[in-house]
Chains A and B, each alone.
Chain A
Amino acid sequence: ETGVTQTPRHLVMGMTNKKSLKCEQHLGHNAMYWYKQSAKKPLELMFVYSLEERVENNSVPSRFSPECPNSSHLFLHLHTLQPEDSALYLCASSQDEGGYYEQYFGPGTRLTVT
Chain B
Amino acid sequence: GQNIDQPTEMTATEGAIVQINCTYQTSGFNGLFWYQQHAGEAPTFLSYNVLDGLEEKGRFSSFLSRSKGYSYLLLKELQMKDSASYLCAVRDQDYKLSFGAGTTVTVRA
Contacts and interface: CB of A to CB of B under 8 A. Distances in A.
B89 to A, nearest CB: 8
Interface stretch (B12-20, B38-46, B63-71): B38-46
Contact of B33 (A98, A99, A102): A102
Say which size band chain A's interface belongs to.
10 to 19
B50 A42 contact: no
At the interface, is chain B mostly helix, strand, loop or mixed?
loop
At the interface, is chain A mostly helix, strand, loop or mixed?
loop
22 contacts: A40-B8, A42-B4, A42-B98, A42-B99, A42-B100, A43-B89, A45-B97, A56-B96, A90-B42, A97-B95, A98-B95, A100-B48, A102-B33, A102-B45, A103-B45, A103-B97, A105-B35, A105-B42, A105-B43, A105-B44, A106-B42, A107-B41
Interface of B: 4, 8, 30-31, 33, 35, 40-45, 48, 50, 87, 89, 95-102
